[in-house]
Amino acid sequence: MRPGHDDRRDNDARAAAGNGLLDRRIFLKGGAAAAGAFMAFASSESAAAPPETPPGMTMSGAPLSPYGSPAGFEREVTRTLIRSQPGTTGAGASRTPLEALEGIITPSGLHFERHHNGVPTIDPAQHQLLIHGMVARPLIFTMATLSRYPMESRIHFLECSGNSGAMYGATPPAQTCGQTHGLVSCSEWTGVPLRLLLEEAGADPRADWILAEGADAAAMSRSVPMAKAKDDALLALYQNGERLRPENGYPVRLFLPGYEGNMSVKWLRRIKVTDTPTMTKDETSKYSDLQTDGKSLLFTYPMEVKSVITRPAPGLKMTGQGLYELSGIAWSGRGKIGKVEVSADGGQTWAEAALSAPVLAYALTRFRIPWKWNGAPAVLKSRATDETGRVQPTRDALIAQHGANVIYHYHAIQAWRVEANGEVKNVYA
């Protein structure tokens, strides 16, 4: 940084909250005078002539490829594998490296995984989907048949209800942002509205539930209210333009916008129309929320409003004092994000961040706000409000209400402490 440069610009940088948060609008078009406030870090030495010819310009480059991969220099940007059942081959989860990503789309190769007995190999030419139970006409669908049907495309997040569960612990996890919060990802999903198939099968009007069963070796099964099945449930065939990835349910998965992830049953083979929930192992021994009084909550479906700052965040390091743009993601299983506020002084004062268009229901929303870091330790927080008015609680308030025996549905305000040396740590603050 060139000394004195920042000071010259201070008049242009409008404070929005304490400890250096600036107004989110200062870089809108026409704000030319303010723009310089960010620009203290480019080098003007030796800039009068073009840089030396880099080696890549002196030889022909690599050839065309049938299917591309990330750059070799990005090889450390991977999912973090966390097996929950040691000794099993494929039961566990892998987490999206949120701190390395931008925008709202998660590349399919980095979408989080959660399997209960590994990823089955399913030949789409052999796979069948059965709709049966309380229906007038039981029906079997092949994948070729489904491809003739009306489809819808929607950008939706998917979050495992166990995401951020380590934050219920007594001490904050010493992990990267993605290792702690990376059981959430967002894709464009395309598929057939389940409603149409239930209508065709003639679902009994007295049937208030369905059972969805996956074709994995765990036969992962969940009960879903018929109201949701007939509202916006999709039989997803495509993810980010191409057919589903194996770890996301190839060749077909259920997708329930906003609901806890494992209800969007992968490798879907069977939908049974029922009058009551089936009470499967996956909704009784798992995915129920143990309360402080020893009772468990069942059927806690919508993922509540949540946000996290992804840059800076644990796993990244600040590169010296001065101006930055903070960037993060917010989402809600109740609909669209209404606003995101950010604090740089541990929650004493808050400023509203800019939301990147389009802001879509049940999708990640990217927020950004400029921050002038003075080099001293600081605690950053983000607080999202969804379109229903629900606001992220503090960690204390969440635990007071929900207890800390549970590992699911953590969605409290996250605090990152920026140290004077630029490191970023997960803290309870």
Binders in 186-205 for a copy of itself, by CB under 8 A: 187-190, 193, 195-197, 199-200
**Pairwise CA distance, residues 338 & 347, whole Å:** 19
> If DSSP codes are grouped into helix, strand and coil, which group holds residue 371?
strand
Taking CB under 8 A as the binding criterion, the range among 53-61, 281-289, 296-304, 387-395 that sits at the site for a copy of itself is: 53-61
Query: Pick from 338, 103, 114, 333: which is nearest to 232 by CA?
Result: 333
Tokens for 87? Answer: 């000794």
**Pairwise CA distance, residues 252 & 145, whole Å:** 12
**Pairwise CA distance, residues 37 & 27, whole Å:** 10
Nearest-approach distance from CB 82 to a copy of itself, in angstroms? 8
49, burial (CB in 10 Å: exposed 0-12, middle 13-18, buried 19+): exposed
Residue 359 or 429 having the CB closest to a copy of itself = 359
Q: Work out whether 77 is an interface residue with a copy of itself (CB under 8 A).
A: yes
- List helix spans (H) across 272-330: 281-284
Maximum distance among all alpha carbons in the chain? 78
Could you tell me which residues come within 8 angstroms of residue 404 by beta carbon, excluding any fewer than 6 positions away? Answer: 168, 292
Which positions from 233 to 262 touch a copy of itself by CB under 8 A, shown as an x/- string?
----xx-xxxxxxxx--xx-----------
Binders in 396-425 for a copy of itself, by CB under 8 A: none
Binders in 90-149 for a copy of itself, by CB under 8 A: 90, 92-94, 100-111, 113, 115, 117-128, 130-132, 137-142, 144-145, 147-149
Taking CB under 8 A as the binding criterion, the range among 170-178, 276-284, 316-324, 382-390 that sits at the site for a copy of itself is: 316-324
- Which helix (H) or strand (E) is 273 found in, with range? strand 268-274
Q: Judged by CB under 8 A, which of 7, 67, 206, 421 binds a copy of itself?
A: 67
Q: Judged by CB under 8 A, which of 2, 8, 10, 88 binds a copy of itself?
A: 88
Q: Judged by CB under 8 A, which of 184, 207, 215, 406 binds a copy of itself?
A: 215
Nearest-approach distance from CB 105 to a copy of itself, in angstroms? 4
Nearest-approach distance from CB 300 to a copy of itself, in angstroms? 26
Residue 150 or 389 having the CB closest to a copy of itself = 150
Query: Pick from 47, 48, 39, 33: which is nearest to 2 by CA?
Result: 39
Nearest-approach distance from CB 138 to a copy of itself, in angstroms? 4
8 Å CB contact between 6 and 322: yes
Taking CB under 8 A as the binding criterion, the range among 88-96, 161-169, 298-306, 343-351 that sits at the site for a copy of itself is: 88-96
- Which helix (H) or strand (E) is 234 found in, with range? strand 234-239
Instruction: Count CB atoms within 10 A of the CB of residue 290.
Output: 16
Task: Tell whether omega for the bond before 107 is within 30 degrees of 0, i.e. cis.
Answer: no
Which positions from 351 to 380 touch a copy of itself by CB under 8 A, shown as an x/- string?
-----x-x-x-----x-x-x----------
Nearest-approach distance from CB 162 to a copy of itself, in angstroms? 15
